[in-house]
Amino acid sequence: MLGLAAAVIAARRAAEENDCLATVGKVEVVPGGVNAIASCATGWLDARGRDPEAVRRVVAEVSHVAGEFDALVTEESWTPTTDFDAALVARIAGLLDGAPVIPTGAGHDAGILANAGVPTAMLFVRNPTGVSHSPDEWASADDCLTGVAALADVVAELAGPTAA
């Protein structure tokens, strides 16, 4: 557990130093009892950023710190930065009265499609905290309804004219 805790702290520090994001949002502890000393603790690190070398530096720093506790860091998967289709993004932004186009580290299913060559873009609903995948993430009901209306407009535009 101490090694995992040190690795989590190292991930946060290294991400800040390398202009990346890093999260350990999933852990598995054996035996997992409240009053039992852990015999094994596994954490999953999600590190992302625009610069692949910066992401690699984050992982290397976490690996170094984990190694001080005789722990091992292995790469389970690597996903390249998602670049959304510029023409589709421009078309959507124009349709939505110049809605801001923002860079994102978000991949989700859209990232899988985009990296497979399928023209892809994402719509985001305003989140005043700017934090995602966290209890601090929220959006007002009005912003959610605006997002639903924007999505409906985009789908209608992309589907083309309908028969009367």
State the residue range of the domain holding 154: 86-159
What sections of the chain are H helices per DSSP?
2-17, 52-67, 86-95, 108-115, 141-159
CATH number at residue 121: 1.10.150
* Closest listed residue to residue 44, CA positions, set 11, 68, 13: 11
pLDDT reading at 106 higher than 90: no
Tell me the three state secondary structure of residue 45.
strand
pLDDT tens, residue by residue, 27-75: 999 999 999 999 999 999 999 888 999 999 999 999 999 999 998 888 8
Q: What is the pTM of this model?
A: 0.73
pLDDT tens sequence across 120-162 = 999 989 899 888 878 889 999 999 999 999 999 999 999 988 6
Residue at token pair 């094994």: 40
> Does residue 78 lie in a domain region?
no
Do 103 and 136 have their domain in common? yes
Other C-beta atoms within 10 Å of 152: how many?
10
Number of domains in the chain: 2
Q: Are residues 54 and 106 in the same domain?
A: no
Q: Is the domain of 52 the same as that of 91?
A: no
Q: Tell whether 92 and 132 lie within a shared domain.
A: yes
